[in-house]
Chain A
Amino acid sequence: MSHLVRAEFRRLFATRLWIWAVVAAVVFGGGLVGLLTVIGPENVNPPLPGLDTEAGIRAVLGLAGLGVIAPALFGATAVTSEYRHRTISATFLFAPRRWSVLAAKLFAYLVAGVAYGLITATTAGIALYAGMAVRDVPTGAPLDVVAGLLLRLVVAMAAYTVLGVGIGALVRNQVIALAGLGAYLYMGENLLLFVPGVNVAYPFLPGGATAALTNFTALTQVAHDTTGAAPQLLSPQAGAGLLIAYAVAAALLAIVLPLRRDVT
């Protein structure tokens, strides 16, 4: 098993994709948070609470949580690129017990997802404090609260990476997997929030769970203001649990599904 994990890490670093993932983590972490901090959340439209309040800190770091789309897409390439470039035959020849290949990929990508989350969170934290120092804004939340919020980002990024691996293993076609996942996470889920009646499901979808985990209520607030009613998000703990449950379910599917399928 360990040699399969080693092979997956080697595969991961053999192309340039990991460099782009690091760039994405920095941009959606430090870049986005730095930009918002410097502009000031109270100056965006619709205005968010200022950084001198805890709500403002939560909003800014929560926005970084919207960047989960990148690790999800990154994870989705794990299996789909093997089908796209037809290496999956050789891979299953070298490891005919197919579940072991998927398990190795899931483990490698879980580690990569945690690394992605750490880069996002670290750069976001640095950007937050640096931005507030530059603007000379008093911090609205103590360090332990900020650290906790940043840790939640790490959990979200890692969970979405694993979720992406599972979705990719399920769909297999790279274009469909990436386009579908991207469209759903970027648009679909957020649009659902604005459909009365349907939006009661939102807290139980991955996006809703993420919002609960990162305490990001801006979107639900907008939905509430627009439609007059918005569902109540789960507690952060329940959101984290649900998100991890999604990731575990996707991982199990990824392990079980390829077992019987013909590779032609």
Chain B
Amino acid sequence: MKRILVFGVFVLLLAGLVACAKSPAGPEDRVKHLGSQVRCPVCRGVPISESPSTLAAQMMDVVREQVAAGKSDDEVLKYFEDRYGEWVLLQPKPEGMNLVIWVLPAFVLVGGGAGILMQLRKRRGQSSAAPAKGN
């Protein structure tokens, strides 16, 4: 049980480190970071920061203007959500039914890790018990 808890804490720390490493630095980094969270409406699952379409390029300009105007990340994302709906956000907001999407991967990861550990422990127990029976 102790090992499972240590494993869970390790996974959470790792996720935190990855999130910190991704934090944007300058305004253009922030624009790209925000653009990577907005779905291109005329593509399939591609963020506006990566789409070659004219609409996506113009949407990136809107993000740029709003960042320059001092809007917060939430305000910029809300602008697009208010117009195109929540599907325009590549990362659904962690609320309501969306919570399942956010919680499920961590649950599967911790649960899967715990399952593997338990299987390993079981096998180790069996292999150490087998020679004793033979002797």
Report if A and B associate in a common complex: no
